[in-house]
Amino acid sequence: MICNGKGVFLTWEDLSVSVSSSRDGPKQILKGLTGYACSGDVLAVMGPSGCGKSTLLDALAGRLSSTWIQNGDILLNGHKQQLAYGTSAYVTQEDTLTWTLTVKEAVHYSAQLQLPNSMSKAAKAERVETTIREMGLQDSVDTRIGGWGRKGLSNGQKRRLSICLEILTRPKLLFLDEPTSGLDSAASYYVMSRIAKVSKQEGMTVVASIHQPSCDVFGLFRNLCLLSSGRTIYFGNCSAATEFFATNGFPCPSLQNPADHYLKTINSDFDEDIEQGNGAKATAEEAIDVLVESYRSSSNICKLIEQQLANIHTRGTGAIVEKKKKKGGQASFFFQCLALTERSFINMSRDMGYYWLRLAIYIALAFGLGTVFFDIGTSYGSIQARGSVLMFIASFLTILAIGGFPSFVEDMKVFERERLNGHYGSLAFVVGNTLSSMPYLFAISLIPGGITYYLIGLHGGNKRFIHFAMTLFACMMLVESLMMIVASLVPNFLMGVISGAGIQGLMMLSGGFFRLPKDLPNVFWRYPMYYISFHKYAFQGLYKNEFEGMRFGDKKETGIDSYVEGDKILRETFDVEMGYSKWVDLGILFGMIVLYKFLFFGFVKGNEQIKPFIKGLLKFLSFRNTN
């Protein structure tokens, strides 16, 4: 078989991959694999579960993290080089999609993020329509993707949409991890036939891991890479695989799917004997050893690779693959931020749990606070009541932002997929996420905040209400930023909620209400917790906003005409720092928002190094607990 010499010719020689293990040392996943993939063809990577299919795809796509040890050569047109933006795309086994969007919206925003500014709106729209038709989704363009109990696209349609989002840029390389997983035979054939058609039309090199293809699906592949326990059982033309198995004593029975026969023969997970052509039986381990040895002794794959490379260089396409990013192959940072902000805002507004339900709860709590503390007055008894209600607003009301954590986790999953495929960078995501949430948080500050403020009868005046609403807005922003940081580190829902609530609990405890600042223990609670807790600045700013300029007392209570000034209450009752104004406290809160966003950006940027560390730590702790 000779490649056509167009597009990308991908080769890997003596590729080995190991992963570090805290228990038994490095564990080898791939063991000296060699193979190639041609443009216009679909290479099927098959094997039983745990054989290394996904690891091979990750290694070829350059997606292995720093905890993996990789040896061997991976070449594009005979050259070692990084996979630049637009060169490759990767479709994971899990369909990670923004479920509130329609098919057309999902593809539209993906086009806005990936396609260059030099393309006109009409050209982008045409690319979107063409790609949707290529994947057979033209009848579902206005259907929402669906999720979280809302019915939407079928599994097959979601698979095609995931592929659709990655082929918008017409990548030269397409990696598919289990594209038929969870699909019936008809849907599997439809998905793979579309991929094979696009591959031929665009000259695209496709490498797909397939678990158990039907006869029809298997017939779409030209080349086959068969793995077992990280070793190559067979690599070559699909039509020649049956002869290879038969020659080594494992013929495929008549009327049986060849793919099923291959997988049954090389699956060592079960203690089932394999029937040989001469009537004898062999264990799966024996069959694997026979096939591996036969392949090694008879394979001329290295010579085939050399022939393919020579053919490609002869045709003049063996040059290093151009980096589209340097030639304006991607949208600018400004347009990426704009597209991400708009997409995220639509997602939030359609997510009943994130947007509308939380807003309803905030309004209900606002009426609850307003009725419990209704018309609080200026008696001596109202002093502690005012302090309590301001503490509740700045801490317990804002902690409800934890309710948005499931949506934050889903946002992070979508971001991880798009970032790894080079759709946009971490900074654009942070900017878009921040801008899209601001209108919602501002609405919470004004509507429930206004209900609470005026029902209770807090200190009147427009400037004071503005300070109150801005402080509430800043606290909401800080809590959401904190939970986004947690979501970027701990994608597990239960662990994330517990971690976020625990961090905020520590901050509230050291904020200066439950224990006055002067009475806090110096070690840890005052230095540093009191000064790094945003509740300190929220409490003190709200106290100054409320008590400055007020007098408290009631002749009916004491029998004498005596009052206490608000400034004295601030100093002696609440131990408030009076050396600076409430606007300084507000400014510090907004400064902390910027700091939290930079921390979020830093964690997102360094996710590849941080997540393996956290996973390793959790594995180590679980190992200690089991011993």
Lowest mean pLDDT among 136-145, 284-293, 614-623: 614-623
> Quick one: pLDDT at residue 151?
81
Q: Kindly report the number of other CB atoms within 10 A of residue 437's CB atom.
A: 23
What single-letter amino acid sits at 393?
A: I
Helices (H), 203-324: 215-218, 238-247, 258-265, 284-298, 301-314
Task: Label residue 317 by pLDDT band (50, 70, 90).
Answer: low
Q: Is the pLDDT of residue 615 over 70?
A: no
Q: Structure tokens of 413? A: 């999953």
Residue 621: exposure state from Cβ atoms within 10 A (0-12, 13-18, ≥19): exposed
> Quick one: pLDDT at residue 627?
45
Q: How many helices (H) and strands (E) does the chain have?
A: 23, 15
> Quick one: pLDDT at residue 559?
59
User: How far lies 228's CA from each of 15, 27, 234, 247, 280, in Å?
Assistant: 15, 15, 10, 19, 22
Task: Label residue 88 by pLDDT band (50, 70, 90).
Answer: confident
Q: Kindly report the number of other CB atoms within 10 A of residue 550's CB atom.
A: 17
Task: Label residue 327 by pLDDT band (50, 70, 90).
Answer: very low
Residue 576 to residue 574: CA distance in whole angstroms: 5
Residue 341 to residue 433: CA distance in whole angstroms: 6
Residue 523 to residue 80: CA distance in whole angstroms: 55
Q: Structure tokens of 442? A: 């501002």
Task: Label residue 329 by pLDDT band (50, 70, 90).
Answer: low
Average pLDDT over residues 282-296: 89
Tokens 């830093």: give the residue.
602
List pLDDT tens digits, range 404-454: 888 898 899 999 999 988 899 999 999 999 999 999 999 989 999 999 999
Ramachandran angles phi, psi of 21, nearest 5°: -130, 130
Residue 515 to residue 505: CA distance in whole angstroms: 14
Q: Considering just the CA atoms, what is the radius of gyration of the chain in Å?
A: 31
Q: Structure tokens of 622? A: 């679980």
Tokens 């679980």: give the residue.
622
Residue 320 to residue 87: CA distance in whole angstroms: 11
> Quick one: pLDDT at residue 122?
95
Average pLDDT over residues 330-354: 91
Higher per-residue confidence, 590 vs 197: 590
Planar angle of CA 60, 66, 69, nearest 5 degrees: 65
Average pLDDT over residues 348-374: 90
Q: Structure tokens of 422? A: 């080079």
Omega before 491 within 30 of 0, i.e. cis = no
Average pLDDT over residues 32-53: 92
Task: Please name the residues in contact with 57: beta carbons below 8 A apart, sequence gap of 6 or more.
Answer: 45, 90, 175, 176, 177, 207, 209
First to last CA, the chain: 55
List pLDDT tens digits, range 380-398: 889 999 999 999 999 888 8
Quote the longest CA-to-CA distance of the chain.
113
> Quick one: pLDDT at residue 626?
45
Higher per-residue confidence, 292 vs 316: 292
Q: Is the pLDDT of residue 166 over 70?
A: yes
43: nearest Cα among 197, 236, 216: 236
Task: Please name the residues in contact with 537: beta carbons below 8 A apart, sequence gap of 6 or more.
Answer: 585, 586, 588, 589, 592
> Quick one: pLDDT at residue 63?
87
Task: Label residue 217 by pLDDT band (50, 70, 90).
Answer: very high
Q: How many CA atoms lie within 13 A of 252 on its CB side?
A: 17
Residue 291 to residue 283: CA distance in whole angstroms: 12
Q: Structure tokens of 248? A: 């080594």
What is the rounded (10 degree) CA torsion for 224, 228, 229, 231?
-50
Q: Is the pLDDT of residue 498 over 70?
A: yes
List pLDDT tens digits, range 128-147: 999 999 888 999 999 999 87
Q: Is the pLDDT of residue 72 over 80?
A: yes
User: How far lies 596's CA from each of 271, 432, 481, 537, in Å?
Assistant: 55, 15, 6, 15
> Quick one: pLDDT at residue 2?
52
Lowest mean pLDDT among 22-26, 111-115, 343-347, 578-582: 22-26
Average pLDDT across the chain, whole number = 87
> Quick one: pLDDT at residue 519?
93
> Quick one: pLDDT at residue 616?
54
